[in-house]
């Protein structure tokens, strides 16, 4: 099957080739644009070669066919590229012609269909997948327990590469993890945030985007309110944390987004607790300071002392249950506690458990 995820197309351009029919399909418009740019580079290199673009609602098969049959006057390859944007409607109207073309394509042109949805059950999809090329433009997934889950690690790796290639900045893995947790898999917004962060990171030859920059500049007042809520939770100020939660919910913030921010912060404390417990099981003494360093807490300023103090306050019993509580909250928000009232109750319970 000639199916390539856009991340693979970008990371390993030698591993795939354009085909007479190339479908760029998926629900992420920013990734579709990146895939089109990758296709153009494969065909024409760095040449500024013009190509023909049709909007699907205005495109007729007769005009598209004429463009595909004409020889290109530009570029060393002589290939003519024809792009149909918003091609879902075009495919519906001209399915028969497209199926015929996929069987006997033009030898001088490449038809590129930019689609939001490309049903795998259709004859056209099967034909393109078997003998042409499909570039998938959706959030990457991985198999977990028999179901497909968002592959967060792969998105974080893409963020680091995107920061370096497009924005000339170095994005740390911790900063990438935080950025994804705060923004979610919204690739256009993620790229906008990378552009902003690279601008504020400095004018050095290789500006560095750290978790501190992400925390300061991504998300506006809601994000800052979220951090204030987390600080209060970790320091035992439960009333203040609940008040901050109320402000966020009243402003329309999604409970799932709030939990994502809380989870990012709490996972480090859960990891530190496990490090201490693992060391004790093998008969090796591990200090709280060593554990917070190993868990990835920042080492500058008072960050380590603050993390150590908070971990001591949380204690071994609660720290060992953080992962369990986060999973329970996540499942609840996506199921039995998805209503606004129950979601608030679930988040308040998490605050009280930690505070």
According to DSSP, the β-strands at 52-55 and 133-136 are unpaired
Does the domain at 3-138 match CATH 3.40.50.300? Answer given as: yes
CATH number of 150-217: 3.30.70.2190, 3.40.50.2000, 1.10.8.60, 1.10.150.130?
1.10.8.60
CA–CA gap between residue 69 and residue 158 (Å, rounded): 37
Question: Tell me, what's the pLDDT at 209?
Answer: 93
Question: Tell me, what's the pLDDT at 109?
Answer: 86
CATH level 2 (architecture), domain 221-354: Up-down Bundle (1.20)
Burial class of residue 131 (count of CB atoms within 10 Å of its CB; 0-12, 13-18, 19+): middle
The distance of Cα 224 from the centroid of its chain, to the nearest Å, equals 22
Question: Tell me, what's the pLDDT at 189?
Answer: 84
Evaluated on CA atoms 132, 137, 142, 147, the torsion sign reads: negative
130 near 2, Cβ under 8 Å?
yes
Q: Where are the domains of the chain?
A: 3-138, 150-217, 221-354
21 near 2, Cβ under 8 Å?
no
Total residues found in the chain within this entry: 355
pLDDT tens digits, 294-324: 777 765 557 788 888 888 888 888 888 999 9
Model-wide pTM > 0.75: no
* C-alpha distances in Å from residue 302, one per residue of 293, 298, 306, 352: 13, 9, 6, 26
CA–CA gap between residue 325 and residue 262 (Å, rounded): 11
Residues of the chain with pLDDT below 70 are 48, 71-78, 203, 219-220, 286, 298-301
């Amino acid at each position: 099957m000639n199916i390539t995820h856009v991340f693979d197309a970008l990371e390993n351009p030698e591993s795939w080739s354009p085909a007479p029919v190339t479908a760029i399909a998926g629900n992420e418009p920013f990734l579709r644009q990146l895939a089109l740019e990758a296709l153009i580079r494969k065909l024409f290199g760095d040449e500024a070669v013009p190509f023909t673009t049709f909007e699907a609602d205005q495109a007729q098969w007769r005009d598209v066919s004429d463009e595909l049959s004409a020889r290109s006057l530009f570029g060393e390859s002589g290939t003519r590229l024809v792009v149909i944007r918003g091609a879902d409607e075009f495919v519906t109207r001209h399915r028969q012609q497209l199926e015929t073309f996929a069987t006997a394509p033009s030898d001088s042109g490449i038809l590129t269909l930019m689609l939001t949805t490309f049903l795998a059950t259709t004859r056209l999809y099967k034909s393109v997948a078997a003998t042409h090329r499909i570039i998938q433009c959706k959030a990457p997934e991985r198999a977990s327990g028999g179901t497909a889950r968002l592959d967060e690690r792969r998105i974080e790796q893409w963020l680091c590469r995107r920061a370096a290639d497009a924005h000339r900045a170095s994005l740390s893995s911790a900063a990438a993890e935080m950025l994804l947790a705060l923004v979610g898999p919204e690739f256009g917004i993620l790229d906008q945030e990378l552009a902003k962060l690279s601008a504020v990171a400095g004018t050095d030859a290789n500006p560095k985007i750290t978790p501190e920059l992400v925390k300061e500049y991504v998300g506006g007042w809601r994000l800052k309110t979220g951090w204030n809520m987390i600080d209060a939770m970790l320091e035992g100020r439960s009333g203040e944390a609940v008040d901050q939660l109320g402000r966020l919910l009243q402003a329309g913030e999604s409970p799932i987004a709030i939990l994502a921010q809380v989870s990012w912060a709490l996972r480090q404390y859960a990891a530190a607790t496990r490090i201490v417990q693992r060391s004790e099981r093998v008969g090796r003494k591990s200090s709280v300071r060593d554990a917070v360093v190993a868990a990835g807490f920042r080492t500058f300023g008072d960050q380590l002392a603050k993390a150590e103090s908070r971990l001591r306050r949380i204690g071994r019993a609660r720290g060992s249950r953080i992962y369990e509580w986060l999973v329970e909250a996540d499942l609840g928000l996506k199921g039995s506690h998805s209503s606004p009232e129950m979601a608030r109750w679930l988040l308040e319970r998490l605050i009280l458990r930690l505070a």
